Structure 1
Amino acid sequence: MNERNTTNTRTVALVDDEDYEWLKQYKWYARYDPKMKSYYAKRAYKTIDGKNTSLYMQREILNIKDRLIHVDYKNHNTLDNTSIYYNPGGHILYMRTIQYIK
């Protein structure tokens, strides 16, 4: 397991060794989600038609571009990209199982 530093905060995203080498070619930043009360690792890129957009690290690792497909964390740590998995139940199942921090 390796740590990938984000550029804008002092946060660190955890990634598997086999993912680290190709992830380090991009500039990652931490994005705080106030609704979820947690940080996510993201990067900016341009689409084929020249539009600016961003991509979450967990989606990059799993190669999931469709925003309707939900990606979840086994340990609910959004910066631990070693514990991500595809959640076929989608957003409704996710909302039933999520743990909110109050």
Structure 2
Amino acid sequence: MVKRARIRQPKDESIRCIPLTQGQKAVVDAEDYEFLMQWNWLAKWDDGTQSYYARRRVQKLDGLEATHLGMHNALMGAFNGTIVDHIDGDTLNMRKSNLRIATHGQNAWNHPTRRDNRLGVKGVR
């Protein structure tokens, strides 16, 4: 059963918002809205990126275990470890113009400088 909080949609009809848990919302292209609204999505905090990700619970084929599928992976058809990068760094901006398949290196460029970095330069140890 799909249950979700009510959410006010933006006036711009090319985008829609999908409610998540923890008072968060994901912004998606209008063409993807109905597809994504089939499921309940949750907001999962990631300490590494200091941001929320939209995820849903998925039952594995064995029926015993469950895993989580990221909304960005579902939109891009990226499974089995393929990396989807949020170009602007906003992990709840799920518009396809903001998503790309990326390598680990490409994805790392969006990460801010680590808090324990004394030089203020990325990639230096």
Give the TM-score range, shorter chain.
0.7 to 0.9
In structure 2, the residue matched to 1:52 is 66
Aligned to 1:98: 110
- Return 5+ residue gaps in structure 1 as ranges: none
Paired position in structure 1 for 2:48: 35
Highest RCO, 1 vs 2 (Cα 8 Å, sep ≥ 6): 1
**Structure 2, unaligned runs of 5 or more:** 1-14, 116-125
Q: TM-score normalized by structure 1?
A: 0.88
Aligned equivalents of 2:86, 2:73: Cα separation in 1:
12
Measured after TM superposition, the shift of residue 92 of structure 1 is 2.7
Distance 1:29 1:74 in 2: 21
Q: Does 1:85 align with 2:100?
A: yes
State how far apart, in whole Å, the 1-side matches of 2:60 and 2:70 are. Answer: 15
TM-score, normalised via structure 2 length: 0.73
* CA distance, structure 2, for counterparts of residue 93 and residue 23 of structure 1: 27
Aligned residues between the structures:
97
The runs of 4+ residues in structure 1 deviating greater than 6 Å are none
TM-aligned CA deviation for residue 43 of structure 1: 0.2
Alpha carbons 2:58, 2:68 under 8 Å: kept: yes
Q: % of aligned pairs identical?
A: 28
Is 2:89 the counterpart of 1:76?
yes
Letter in 2 for 1:99: H
Structure 2 contact 49–111 (Cα < 8 Å) conserved: no
Give the letter aligned to residue 110 of structure 2. Answer: I
